[in-house]
Amino acid sequence: MLEKSIENLLYKGRWILAPIYLGLSLALLALGIKFFQEVFHILPSIFGIKESDLVLQILTLLDVALVGGLIVMVMFSGYENFVSRIDIADDKEKLSWLGKLDAGSLKQKVAASIVAISSIHLLKKFMDAQQIDNEKLMWYVIIHLTFVASAMGMAFVDRMNKH
Q: Among residues of the chain, what percentage have pLDDT more than 90? A: 34
Residue 112 identity (one-letter amino acid): A
pLDDT digits (tens, 9 = 90+) for 107-161: 888 888 889 889 988 888 888 778 888 888 899 999 999 999 999 998 888 888 7
Asked if the model's pLDDT at residue 77 lies above 80, the reply is: yes
Residue 56 identity (one-letter amino acid): L
Q: Among residues of the chain, what percentage have pLDDT more than 70? A: 96
Q: Enumerate the H helices of 43-133 as residue ranges.
A: 51-82, 103-127
Task: Give, to the nearest 10 degrees, the angle between helix 17-42 and helix 51-82.
Answer: 170
- What's the mean pLDDT in 66-88? 86
DSSP states along 18-66? HHHHHHHHHHHHHHHHHHHHHHHHHGGGTTTS-HHHHHHHHHHHHHHHH
Residue-level pLDDT at 37:
95
